Amino acid sequence: MIESALHALRENYNFVVILCGVSLLGAGAGIVGAFAVLRKRALTGDALSHAALPGVCLAFLVLGERNLPAMLLGALASGILGVAIISALVRWTRVRDDAAIGIILSVFFGLGIALMGIIQRMGSVGNKAGLSSFILGKTTGITGADVWIILASAAICLAAIVVLYKEFLAVSFDADFTQSLGWPVYAIDLLLMSLVAAAVVIGLPTVGVIMISALLIMPGAAARFWTDRLSTLLVLAGGLGFVTGVVGTTLSYTFDKLPAGPVIVLTGAALFLLSMLLGHRRGAIARILAHRRFRRSWQERQLLRTLYELIESSGFRQRSVPQDDLLSLRAWSPAEAQKLVQEAAVAGLVLPLPGGRVALTDQGWQQALEATRGHRLWQTFLAEYPEQAGSVVNLASVSVDDHLPPALSDELQAKLVAAGRWPASEVAP
Amino acid sequence: MNSLLDIHDLTVAYHRKPVLWDVDLELHQPQLAAIVGPNGAGKSTLIKAVLGLVPLASGRAQIFGEPVARVRQRIGYVPQRESVDWDFPVSVLDVVLMGTYGRLGWFRRPGRDEREWARECLEKVGLAQYEHQQIGQLSGGQQQRVFLARALAQRADIYFMDEPMAGVDAATERLIFQVLADLRAAGKAIIAVHHDLRTVPQYFDYVVLLNVRLVAAGPRETTFTPDNLRKTYGGRLALLDAAADAIAAGSGAP
Amino acid sequence: MSTAVASRQSFAAPQTAWAWNEWWLLASYLAMSLALVVIGLEWVTRPAASGVPRDLAAPLWTIAVGSASAASCAILGCYLVLRRMSLLGDAISHAVLPGIVIAYLLSGQLTGWPIFIGALVLGVVTAALTQGLSSLGRVSEDTSLGIVFTSLFALGVVLIQGWVRHADLDVDCVLQGQIDFAGVTQEFYGWQISRPILALLPTLVVTIGFVALFWKELKIVSFDPALAAAMGVRVAVVHYLLMAMVSVATVASFEAVGSILVVAMLIVPAAAADLLSSRLSMMIAWAMAIGIVSAALGYVLGAALDTSVAGMMAVVAGGQFALAVVFSPRSGLASRWLRNLLLAVRITSEDVIAGLYRAEERDQATGVSIELSGVRGESTRSGIDEHSASPFVRWLASWRIAHLGWTAKDRLGQARLTDAGRTVARKLVRAHRLWETYLDTHFDLPRDHLHDAAERMEHFLDPELQAELDAELAGVATDPHGKQIPPADSAVDSSSLEK
């Protein structure tokens, strides 16, 4: 594939032009789209692109010839009109945003199709319009001049984001707070949406109305799995968009049966899927593994603490308790309890004894002490400082020291000692 | 003895932050019980956890000694008023009729008996004349009463109510409590999230103090004390003063 | 007490005639649209030359196909709109494409049950994937929706262009459908029938059956999913059944009208119907009506302009939605504006005569003749001008006062209250002062804050509430500013004023 692409590179000036255009488009759309995703406006791009179609057709009808810049301006105008109607509907009527988006998207698109029908019946002029390429996109239609338009727009997007980085960050992070600071949130939002609109419109002739929104959403959403920092996220989204463009274009060029737009979207989907599964910050696999680790350690601590408490309530006479007693304190089924005991036994923390009893090993005793201390310190903390309830407590950590200042944890410990509830190591039976 | 409500070792966590932690609660007699606690204390979550509407990290909840799924027909539920869309195109009577759906099962439609019964329930909350109105046209207090009527229509033995008194005026509050007291007198149990400390002594006979962990639960006289309230709310003095006044007033009441 | 009073005042008598009113509105809308359609059909089917017979079969079949599709979609769309899942409908209508293509590639035919199975599977997969991605990847629901449906649609397009060689299955017909061929009939058990209707009619019947069968479950799951779950209704089962039905309706409509129209028919009529109705049954009826009108008028317009019928149907649906937004009796922009205007006129006119009444009162107290009150400008100052009402409202208010005979010109050309006007004005002033007194005794408000509150409230206090206030304030004769509260019965009072 790479060889054939290189071959194509040498052979075909057109291919280079297309490759440049689509990759730049991917990068620009990725960066702008990342903000839209963060701002919870993922589907605005979809509404915009569908709403742009009548503008394209009207520009053609008015000029009577195919003039790309004019058609894109028409697209921009009608796209923005559509988005404006959506926000007006949400603001002034009881139509909800999901319905408003759906209505504008389908009605404008229907209007576009109807106008297109009129154009196509105009005879030879209409057939040359190549309007249908706006729906599903057509990379072969890109000319050198188009690449310059795309390049210029991508540059403008980038410049706007660099200049207004702080403002966009604030608005997409917490719009209400930003508003309370007296910033013109509405204007910033509007600018952001204009950038989205620009990206959509530039993408229309190549990727098409239906799928351009994917190019906006996917890179940003995919990048989110790899980082928590906005600056990194933006660079990554741009990079992923770029890669999507390069790979998608090359693929569609290599297998010439495949249309470019859908192949680009599927490339983006594959990148998203990989990121979602493998991303090390929020990726699904990393998260599921972490969650299972957390559950295991939490349940293990529950078991050890329960054993300690049972031993405590028997006056520290024995280091073993009947396994069935576990069920009186915890809502485990006998099978669950059995499984937990077995797992802890494998870890060398408990020792199942004959006669259905369980004993703590030395190591288990130490960990049980720690688990019980941590739990009681948290509980005391909640009892003493109920205002802080829940906001500080973390079930994943064994000790409170990571979350509370030392003086406070000393104070809580003193309280527990005074109440005779501090698990002290010297009372081991 | 079979307890009415048995919550054991209940923990609900969200992103490893406990919302409810190691909650054990048993209710043996039918009570008019208030769940009291500050914002974010997990009051609503406790109800949702019992009804199986949120995933549990550990623990179990039983009602009448059975898993909740087996006794759903005997449970009434009043969600928070904000949880539904009041522009929804249904009439007041339609909403109350929804209370009968649980007993009807799949495919059967509410018939004349159910309508009669729904009207009766509406009458009990004083909204009989609004039966045909679209629910969005009602005031907040009236909407709350519609929810109460719907719960009545469930013919349950135990009721869970999430802030049934939120945003209602004093007259409606008295009416709602009259209905609750009637239910209680008919041997039903009511567990309601309540946000107004001042009216607790006036209306409830059992109190559950909750702040992520269970602070205390028991008869109002012994449980609704300034000390327990401090353990629940922390040192917010103004609020505690108001409650202390109410406790003093409540202990004088019959 | 205060909120009870405030909340109760906004309710007039319960509307018992709602059903009749709403059905009547729907019936007249349908009749009007039908007339439009008939006129339009008359024009678009006019014979090219005299003597050629008019061909109505094809247009009527096309309208029937469009209507059947629109009606099934509209019914299901109601639930999508109410559950705020409109975009899931949009997504499904795009995402069933690969299901259709795969079913076609496997079965080799473009009609019949394989296509339905393929679409149904993909529809449910779309709903499940959307939910799965958003919970597995912790991305917002709309982000995952946007990713899922664009990818699946792209997959469908790639499959079509890469592997399918069939005239009836290309991208254009997926997008726009082939409703132009709906007029072509074929023989079916001795009847000449349009082919798409063979799939659409059963779909419509199944859709209606589905909604009727699960009426109660769909209703409670849409209105209050938490209660539904607490009652033991399988919310997820109902959800996926609905999604499966949406996919079936989508694919049945696909061939005839294309995917754009499916989206438009799912969402637009239902959203318009939501603005028009206060009952679920009514909403579904409205949605079906709007959908059918879109199909019929859309055909007429498409034929008249010689363009895509599917596109025009979407446009007509959008036009009807716009009408609903503006003119809906309950929540339309125009009706809200009209209601506010009428209220402003009523308040302004009432303020004027209350001002005149106060002037009379003052004149009596000071012994100055009533005739002079107008000269002193008291009545006008305390009336309209204070309220910054627009000139138009003021003009309407003065017309209303004259029309109701509340004032008459005296010898000097000054407006004076008539008996009728005085009775009304006394009631208003009484309401005003009662409310001031009530506020003063029940709330710790500064005295100068009372007037404004009462100025608003006096227009809304109905007799029932006044009686309640009376009972509450028994025996209080003067308001907090020391002015007498006029008694409720008029006889005594008017004679004393007239002397």
Torsion of CA C279, C285, C288, C290, to 10 degrees: -80
pLDDT at B95: 94
Its domain, for residue A376, covers: 287-418
As beta bridge partners, residue B160 has B77, B191
pLDDT at C273 over 90: yes
pLDDT at A127: 55
Residues A189, A294: one domain? Answer: no
Q: Is this prediction's pTM over 0.80? A: yes
Query: Using CB atoms and an 8 Å cut-off, which of residues 324-343 of chain C contact chain A?
Result: 325, 331, 333
Domain assignment present for A259: no
Domain assignment present for A197: yes
pLDDT at A237: 93
Do residues B132 and C18 lie in contact, with contact meaning Cβ atoms separated by under 8 Å? Answer: yes
pLDDT at C4: 40
Do residues A150 and A21 lie in contact, with contact meaning Cβ atoms separated by under 8 Å? Answer: yes
Best residue of A113, A140, A172, A271 to probe chain C, by most C CBs closer than 10 Å: A113
Residue B41 contacts A, CB cutoff 8 Å: yes
Q: Which of residues A40 and C192 earns the better pLDDT score?
A: A40
Residue B243: CB atoms within 10 A of its CB come to 24
Residue B87: CB atoms within 10 A of its CB come to 16
Number of helices (H) and strands (E) in chain A: give both, helices first.
19, 3
Do residues A281 and A226 lie in contact, with contact meaning Cβ atoms separated by under 8 Å? Answer: yes
Q: Which two tokens stand for residue C175?
A: 């997008």
Chain A positions touching C257 (Cβ under 8 A) are none
In the sheet that holds B17-27, the strands lie side by side as B17-27, B5-14, B58-63, B66-67
Q: Which residues contact B204 (CB under 8 A, 6 or more apart)?
A: B32, B33, B34, B192, B194, B220
Q: Which residues contact C222 (CB under 8 A, 6 or more apart)?
A: B88, C79, C82, C83
Instruction: Choose one of A169, A196, A212: the last residue of a domain.
Output: A212
Burial of A119 (0-12, 13-18, 19+ CB in 10 A): buried
d(CA A230, CA A236): 10
Which of B75, B150, B169 is the closest to C4 by Cβ?
A: B169
Four-way CATH pick for C55-328: 3.40.710.10, 3.50.30.30, 1.10.3470.10, 3.40.50.1820: 1.10.3470.10
Burial of A263 (0-12, 13-18, 19+ CB in 10 A): buried
pLDDT band at C19 (very low <50, low <70, confident <90, very high): low
d(CA C233, CA B43): 24
As beta bridge partners, residue B190 has B32, B159
Residues A45, A147: one domain? Answer: yes
Which of A89, A101, A114 is the closest to C307 by Cβ?
A: A114
pLDDT at C364 over 90: no
DSSP character string of C410-424: -TTS-EEE-HHHHHH
Q: Which fold has domain C337-497?
A: Arc Repressor Mutant, subunit A (1.10.10)
Q: Which of residues C21 and B179 earns the better pLDDT score?
A: B179
Coarse DSSP helix, strand, coil percentages of chain C, rounded to the nearest 5 percent = 75, 5, 20
Q: Scanning every residue of chain B, which has its alpha carbon at the shortest distance from the alpha carbon of A330?
A: B9
Answer whether B101 sits within 8 Å of C216, measured CB to CB.
Answer: yes
Chain C positions touching A287 (Cβ under 8 A) are 138
Which residues in chain B land under pLDDT 50? 252-254
- SS3 label, residue A11: helix
Answer whether B73 sits within 8 Å of C3, measured CB to CB.
Answer: no
Check which CATH number belongs to the domain holding A162 and give it: 1.10.3470.10
Residue with tokens 């991208």: C171
- Total domains in chain A come to 2
Residue B15 contacts A, CB cutoff 8 Å: no
Over residues C237-253, mean pLDDT: 91
Residue A42 contacts C, CB cutoff 8 Å: yes
Q: Scanning every residue of chain A, which has its alpha carbon at the shortest distance from the alpha carbon of B228?
A: A383
For the stretch C121-168, pLDDT in tens is: 999 999 999 999 888 888 888 889 999 999 999 998 888 887 776 656
As beta bridge partners, residue B189 has B158
Residue with tokens 């790479």: A2
pLDDT band at C450 (very low <50, low <70, confident <90, very high): confident
**How many Å is the maximal CA-CA distance in chain C?**
102
Q: Cα–Cα distances in Å, from B204 out to B31, B165, B180, B210?
A: 8, 13, 10, 16
Residues A310, A191: one domain? Answer: no
Domain assignment present for A373: yes
Domain assignment present for A411: yes
Residue with tokens 């080799």: C108
Residues A208, A308: one domain? Answer: no
Query: Using CB atoms and an 8 Å cut-off, which of residues 330-349 of chain A contact chain C?
Result: none
Do residues B206 and B220 lie in contact, with contact meaning Cβ atoms separated by under 8 Å? Answer: yes
Interface B-C, measured as beta-carbon pairs within 8 A, has a size of 109
Answer whether C153 sits within 8 Å of A112, measured CB to CB.
Answer: no
State whether the Cα torsion C482-C483-C485-C490 is positive or negative.
Answer: positive
One-letter amino acid of B74:
R
Q: Which two tokens stand for residue B242?
A: 């108001």
pLDDT band at C479 (very low <50, low <70, confident <90, very high): confident
Answer whether C311 sits within 8 Å of A110, measured CB to CB.
Answer: yes
Query: Using CB atoms and an 8 Å cut-off, which of residues 315-354 of chain A contact chain B?
Result: 329-331
CA distance B77 to chain C (A): 7
Q: Which two tokens stand for residue B200?
A: 């607790």
Residue C3 contacts B, CB cutoff 8 Å: yes
Q: What is the pLDDT along chain A (429 residues), one digit of tens a residue?
A: 666 666 666 667 777 877 888 888 899 899 889 988 888 888 888 899 999 999 999 998 888 877 778 888 999 999 999 998 998 998 888 898 899 999 999 999 999 989 988 888 776 655 555 677 777 777 666 677 777 877 888 788 888 888 888 888 888 777 777 777 778 888 888 888 888 888 888 888 878 887 788 889 999 999 989 988 888 899 999 999 999 999 988 888 787 767 778 888 999 999 999 999 988 878 888 888 988 888 888 889 889 999 988 888 888 888 888 888 888 888 888 888 889 999 988 988 888 888 888 888 888 888 888 888 888 888 888 888 877 766 677 777 777 777 777 888 888 888 888 888 888 766 666
pLDDT band at C453 (very low <50, low <70, confident <90, very high): confident
From first CA to last CA, the distance across chain A in angstroms is 72
DSSP character string of C382-400: TTTGGGT--HHHHHHHHHH
Do residues A47 and A101 lie in contact, with contact meaning Cβ atoms separated by under 8 Å? Answer: yes
Instruction: Choose one of A185, A212, A239: the last residue of a domain.
Output: A212
Chain C positions touching A110 (Cβ under 8 A) are 260-261, 264, 310-315, 317-318
Q: Cα–Cα distances in Å, from C289 out to A421, B29, C26, C267?
A: 73, 55, 8, 14
pLDDT at C367 over 60: no
C68: nearest Cα among C270, C168, C207: C207
Answer whether B234 sits within 8 Å of A393, measured CB to CB.
Answer: no
B99 DSSP assignment = T
Answer whether A110 sits within 8 Å of C274, measured CB to CB.
Answer: no
Check which CATH number belongs to the domain holding A352 and give it: 1.10.10.10
Do residues B43 and B23 lie in contact, with contact meaning Cβ atoms separated by under 8 Å? Answer: no
Chain A positions touching B232 (Cβ under 8 A) are 386
Do residues C230 and B77 lie in contact, with contact meaning Cβ atoms separated by under 8 Å? Answer: yes
Answer whether B134 sits within 8 Å of C233, measured CB to CB.
Answer: no
Residue A262 contacts C, CB cutoff 8 Å: yes
Best residue of B84, B119, B175 to probe chain C, by most C CBs closer than 10 Å: B84
State whether the Cα torsion B152-B154-B160-B162 is positive or negative.
Answer: negative
Which of B89, B102, B172 is the closest to C282 by Cβ?
A: B89
Instruction: Choose one of A212, A234, A260: the last residue of a domain.
Output: A212
pLDDT at C206: 95
Answer whether A42 sits within 8 Å of C89, measured CB to CB.
Answer: no
Mean pLDDT for all residues in chain C: 80
Residues A395, A294: one domain? Answer: yes
A45 sits in which H/E element:
helix A44-63
Domain assignment present for A413: yes
**What HEC string does A321-380 produce?**
EEHHHHHHHCCCCHHHHHHHHHHHHHCCCEEEECCCEEEECHHHHHHHHHHHHHHHHHHH
Residue C409: CB atoms within 10 A of its CB come to 11
pLDDT band at C376 (very low <50, low <70, confident <90, very high): very low
pLDDT at B252: 45
| Ranges of each domain in chain C | 55-328, 337-497
CA distance B234 to chain C (A): 31
Chain A positions touching B233 (Cβ under 8 A) are 386-387
Answer whether A390 sits within 8 Å of B87, measured CB to CB.
Answer: no
Residue A261 contacts C, CB cutoff 8 Å: yes
CA distance C178 to chain A (A): 13
Which of B60, B211, B233 is the closest to A331 by Cβ?
A: B60
Residue with tokens 């999604």: C243
Answer whether A102 sits within 8 Å of C325, measured CB to CB.
Answer: no
Domain assignment present for A277: no
Residues A181, A325: one domain? Answer: no
pLDDT at C494: 42
Residues A341, A196: one domain? Answer: no
What are the backbone angles phi and psi of residue C280, rounded to the nearest 5°?
-65, -45
C363: nearest Cα among C414, C428, C430: C414
Residue with tokens 């000054």: C414
- Out of A85-94, B47-56, C74-83, C471-480, pick the least confident: C471-480
Best residue of C8, C15, C227, C465 to probe chain B, by most B CBs closer than 10 Å: C227
CA distance B210 to chain C (A): 22
Over residues C241-254, mean pLDDT: 90
B72 DSSP assignment = G
C43 sits in which H/E element:
helix C18-44
Angle between helix C235-276 and C215-223 (nearest 10)? 80
Residue A117: CB atoms within 10 A of its CB come to 21
Q: Cα–Cα distances in Å, from C484 out to C422, C436, C450, C497?
A: 16, 12, 16, 14
Residues A169, A29: one domain? Answer: yes
